[in-house]
Every structure is written in structure tokens, then in C-alpha cells.
């Protein structure tokens, strides 16, 4: 079902016309209401009148997470505090929190975008949906909640923290959809499997995001739970979940371009990249009132396709994320993304996507150990079987990342499960 055909199926010309109109308004608004942008534009010698449409986008300054930190807490807000009705914040691992603010209209648009995403996943007003992202300052819980309510579904606001209660309610209420991180959904699947409860649930769809995951992991979730799983993307600075989501064809995530204008840039030169090339995703918000952002550098690496999707949507599609440029590890000079390990393990079979990379430094040389959970049956086999599997995983991973790693097989369910964003790396080099 297409929830909003008028906005999702317009021609490229119509979309660009709408984006241009909205960009001009946004630039005008930030120039007059946000000192940070006025100064940045003055330094570049541009005035709002110089921006006539999206073709002028490259003239505008970039915004980074550090700019939000430097203006902490409310320095980039474009409306008086009395018009802000909600705050969210992301803590990040370093530095101060970044605080984001929403006007009532911002919340309405957010709810609409998440409703569009859930509708792409087949969720309707007849569904019962458990929201199992964390509620609170993180945008996942309240963001998914607002969208599901907007759609008219019956929302069960689980948050994270009590998987047993979640699975019990899933059975008792006949829950048909769930929104949570993909790693948490895998854990939920394990708990259901262990209790023999998979036949007793009515789940049909999952809307998962907030962390990178591979196509194979998506398929594994679908097979384990007999559901359709969808990939929802977003980031708190730009809005929260619901900036983009994939449809039933899973050929990339449709960006809600009428609200968020995407670009791909080369993260080193900051030059825009040619259509279809992989680089850093950058967003300019087109309708936000509370915290409008010009050319926000997400650090997420992807590419954009503009051809029409089989589902009928004409919205630009971003490809599944490879990772964040700041998730990339440099080990012995080689660039490694944790998602490469997950992809290799799942392709091989016999393993789960649960792994932990432990990076250390001995005698000035980087070391990499990868702990991999393997299926129970391998531990009941002869020791030789385990040794063979260790070797095989070593080869597969070396092929994938171009580096030899020490492989340590661990029994099922030994690695800690996360209910929020999964942690796959312990970098002891940073602790020096
Ligand atoms: O994670 C918002 C969100 C909540 C999205 C629930 C989807 C579902 P932040 O905490 O600000 O916001 O983190 C944003 O998470 O820049 C990506 O690196 C990563 N991320 C989010 N969704 C995906 C996804 C929320 N589907 C950061 N695939 C982003 C890969 C994702 N990475």
C-alpha cells in the first residue's frame, strides 16, 4: 500500500521544484534566526538571495556534529525556546551530548515520516505493534511510537529492558509488528526459539534500524521468525528514525526527499560525488522549524540511486549502509568495517551474526582477535571439526577484510546481547 502517493511518486522535476522552494525558505530562516549560520554564510560571502534552488546547494556551508556540540545546548535552534515542545539528545561516546529540539509542526512531520516508513513495511491501523527501541532521550522509542500511532496501529510501548515480558505480551496480545534494533530482534528470536514459542506468535513485520546490519542478517531474521523485516534509517540531528526506509523490494531505502535533501560527498575533499558513487551522506532539512540544518555531514557511507523503484515510488534510494566513516578501524594500516565481518560470517553459514572484534597492540603491532559464536552442534563434534571451522572462518574473514585475524570460537549465547545499538568492537589501543 502506498500511504502518500502524492508525495512519494512525483516526477523528478516536480520533486526538485518542491525542494528548491523549500530550500530557499530554509536558508532564509537560518540566516535570519541562527547566528551560527549567518556568520558562516557571511564568511563565505553569500546572502540568502544567492540561493535560488537546489543547484546552489554546493555554495552553502556544511554542518557537523561538532558544530552542535560547540553551540550546546540550544545554540542552533531557529525558534524561541517557547516554541520547542520536545527535546531529544544523543550522548555519543565522546564529548558533550548533542541536543535536538522540535516544534509541534516538526513532531507532526516526524510522525508522518515514520508512518510512511511503517506503511512501506505493510503496517496498517489493524496492526498491534511493540515498540522496543529505548524510550527517553534516544529518538528511537518516541519516534517509532509517534509514527505508529499516527498510522492508527495499536502501540505497545515496551521500550527495552525486559525481554521475557516482551515475548509474553507478544504471544498474549497477538502482536503483529515490532520496531527495535536488528540485533535486539535476533536476541528476541533466540528467546522465543528457546521457549519453543515461534509457532505461538502472530508477528508478520519488523521495522529495524539504528545500527548497521547486512542483507544476510535481514534474511536470517525473516527466516527465523517467518516475517518480513525492513530497514529504517534516521539520525537524531536530522530528525530521528524515519528519514528513509526500504520497501518490499529491498532495493535501497527510500529517502523522504520532500523533507530531507540528500547529497553524497567525498569525505576527504568535501566535493559532491557523481551520481551512484559511494561517499558520505549529507542532509539539508527542508521543512524543520526547531533545528533546521544545512548540509549536515552524517558520516554514514552510502550511494544514491534516482531511478523509479518497482514499488512505484520515485523517491531517491540510498543503498544499505556500509558503516560510518568513524566506525572504520585502521588495523595494521588496513581499513576495516565491522559490517564486513558480519557479512562474511553470514555468507559462510554455521555461525551467527554475534561476534566481537578485539583490537590491541603488542610490540607496536596491531593485533586482531575475532570471537565468533557458532552453532551448538560444533561443540558436540570432534575437536578436529572445531579446528577445521576455525581455519575456515579465518580464511573467509581474511578474504573479506584483507587481514589475518586470530579466530576464537565461542559457544552460542556467550557474547553479551544488546537491547540498543550493538557493540562489536573493543579497541584496547584507545585505552593506552
Ligand atoms: O539511531 C535514529 C533511529 C532510531 C534510526 C531507530 C532508526 C531506528 P542516532 O542515535 O542519532 O539516531 O544514530 C544515528 O545510527 O548516523 C547511523 O550511523 C546509524 N543508523 C541509524 N539507522 C541505521 C540503519 C538513531 N538503518 C546513526 N542502518 C546514523 C545503518 C543506521 N545505520
Q: What is the CATH number of the domain that holds 242?
A: 3.40.50.12780
Of 307, 257, 330, 343, the residue nearest 4 (C-alpha): 257
Whole-number Å distance, alpha carbon 225 to ligand 1 midpoint, is: 23
C-alpha cell at 9: 511518486
CA-321 nearest atom, ligand 1: 30
Which ranges in 250-372 belong to alpha helices (H)?
338-348
What is the 247 CA–ligand 1 centroid distance (Å)?
A: 17
Q: Give the whole-angstrom CA distance, residue 20 versus residue 256.
A: 15
Looking at the fold, whether 63 and 90 belong to one and the same domain comes out as yes
Domain C-terminal end among 279, 301, 325: 325
- Looking at the structure, tell me whether residues 339 and 201 fall in a common domain: no
Residue at grid coordinates 593506552: 432
Determine if ligand 1 sits within 6 Å of the CB of residue 292. no
Interval 113-131 mean pLDDT: 97
Residues 6+ apart with CB under 8 A from 191: 163, 164, 167
Are 252 and 304 within one domain?
yes
Let me know: does 409 contact 386? Beta carbons within 8 Å.
yes
- Domain of residue 374: give its range: 329-431
- In this structure, the answer to whether residues 280 and 398 fall within a common structural domain is no
Same-domain check for residues 310 and 354: no
Q: Is the per-residue pLDDT at 350 higher than 80?
A: no
How far is it, in rounded angstroms, from Cα 306 to Cα 315?
7
Cα–Cα nearest to 355, from 259, 171, 223, 213: 213
Q: Which of 306, 325, 344 is the last residue of a domain?
A: 325
Question: Phi and psi for 373 in degrees, rounded to 5?
Answer: -80, 130
- Other CB atoms within a 10 A radius of the CB of residue 104 amount to 12
For 142-156, 210-224, 329-343, which range has the lowest pLDDT when averaged over its residues? 329-343
C-alpha to C-alpha distance for 138 and 100, rounded to whole angstroms: 11
Q: Do 211 and 359 lie in a common domain?
A: no
Domain tally, the chain: 2
- Say which residue the cell 524510550 belongs to: 135
Same-domain pairing of 284 and 337: no
| Confidence band, pLDDT 50/70/90 cuts, at residue 95 | low
Residue 133 CA: nearest ligand 1 atom is: 6
What pLDDT was estimated at residue 207? 98
Cα–Cα distances (Å) from 252 to 21, 55, 219, 230, 423, in that order, read 27, 25, 15, 10, 24
Q: How far is the CA of 208 from the centre of ligand 1 (A)?
A: 10
pLDDT digits (tens, 9 = 90+) for 36-51: 999 999 999 999 999 9
Same domain, 175 and 206: yes
Residues 132-151: b if buried by 16+ CB within 10 A, e if exposed: bbbbebbbbbbbbbbbbbbb
Q: Is there a single domain that holds both residue 305 and residue 339?
A: no
Does residue 142 register a pLDDT over 70? yes
**% of the chain residues with pLDDT over 90:** 77
C-alpha cell, 327: 566506525
Among 123, 115, 139, which residue's Cα sits nearest to residue 229?
Answer: 123
Ligand 1 atom 12: the closest Cα is on which residue? 235
92: pLDDT confidence band, cut at 50, 70 and 90?
A: low
Over residues 250-277, mean pLDDT? 96
In this structure, the answer to whether residues 305 and 411 fall within a common structural domain is no
How does the average pLDDT of the chain come out, rounded? Answer: 93
Establish whether residue 90 lines the binding site of ligand 1, counting it when its CB lies within 6 angstroms of any ligand atom: yes
Q: What percent of the chain has pLDDT over 70?
A: 97
Amino acid at each position: 500500500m502506498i500511504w502518500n502517493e502524492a508525495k512519494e511518486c512525483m516526477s523528478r522535476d516536480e520533486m526538485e521544484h518542491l525542494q528548491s522552494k523549500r530550500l530557499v525558505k530554509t536558508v532564509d530562516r537560518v540566516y535570519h534566526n541562527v547566528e551560527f549560520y549567518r556568520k558562516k554564510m557571511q564568511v563565505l560571502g553569500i546572502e540568502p538571495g544567492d540561493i535560488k534552488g537546489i543547484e546552489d546547494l554546493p555554495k552553502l556551508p556544511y554542518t557537523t556534529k561538532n558544530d552542535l556540540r560547540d553551540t550546546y545546548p540550544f545554540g542552533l535552534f531557529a525558534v524561541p525556546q517557547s516554541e520547542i515542545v520536545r527535546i531529544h539528545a544523543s550522548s555519543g561516546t565522546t564529548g558533550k551530548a548533542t541536543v535536538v529540539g522540535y516544534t509541534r509542526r516538526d513532531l507532526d512531520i516526524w510522525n508522518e515520516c515514520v508512518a510512511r516508513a511503517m506503511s512501506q513495511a505493510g503496517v496498517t491501523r489493524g496492526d498491534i505493534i511493540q515498540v522496543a527501541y529505548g524510550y527517553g532521550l534516544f529518538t528511537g522509542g518516541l519516534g517509532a511510537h509517534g509514527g505508529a500511532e499516527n498510522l492508527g496501529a495499536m502501540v505497545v510501548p515496551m521500550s527495552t529492558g525486559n525481554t521475557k515480558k516482551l515475548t509474553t505480551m507478544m504471544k498474549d496480545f497477538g502482536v503483529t509488528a515490532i520496531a527495535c534494533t536488528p540485533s535486539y530482534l535476533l536476541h528476541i528470536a533466540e528467546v522465543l526459539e528457546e521457549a519453543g514459542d515461534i509457532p505461538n506468535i502472530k508477528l508478520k513485520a519488523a521495522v529495524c534500524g539504528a545500527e548497521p546490519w547486512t542483507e544476510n542478517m535481514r534474511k536470517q531474521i525473516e527466516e527465523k521468525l517467518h516475517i518480513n523485516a525492513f530497514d529504517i534509517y534516521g539520525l537524531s540531528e536530522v530528525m530521528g528514525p524515519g528519514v528513509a526506509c526500504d520497501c518490499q523490494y529491498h532495493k535501497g531505502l527510500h529517502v523522504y526527499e520532500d523533507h530531507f535533501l540528500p547529497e553524497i560527498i567525498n569525505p576527504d575533499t568535501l566535493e559532491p560525488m557523481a551520481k551512484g558513487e559511494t561517499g558520505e551522506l549529507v542532509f539539508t532539512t527542508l521543512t524543520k522549524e526547531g533545528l533546521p540544518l544545512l548540509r549536515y555531514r552524517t558520516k554514514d557511507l552510502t550511494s544514491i540511486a534516482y531511478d523509479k523503484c518497482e514499488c512505484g515510488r520515485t523517491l531517491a534510494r540510498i543503498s544499505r549502509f556500509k558503516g560510518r566513516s568513524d566506525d572504520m578501524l585502521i588495523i595494521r594500516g588496513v581499513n576495516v568495517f565491522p559490517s564486513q565481518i558480519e557479512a562474511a560470517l553470514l555468507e559462510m553459514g554455521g555461525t551467527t551474526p554475534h561476534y566481537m572484534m578485539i583490537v590491541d597492540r603488542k610490540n607496536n603491532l596491531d593485533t586482531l582477535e575475532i570471537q565468533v559464536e557458532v552453532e551448538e552442534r560444533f561443540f558436540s563434534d570432534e575437536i578436529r571439526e572445531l579446528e577445521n571451522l576455525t581455519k575456515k572462518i579465518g580464511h573467509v574473514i581474511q578474504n573479506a577484510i584483507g587481514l589475518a585475524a586470530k579466530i576464537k570460537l565461542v559457544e552460542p549465547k556467550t557474547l553479551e546481547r544488546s537491547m540498543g545499538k550493538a557493540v562489536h568492537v573493543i579497541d584496547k589501543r584507545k585505552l593506552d
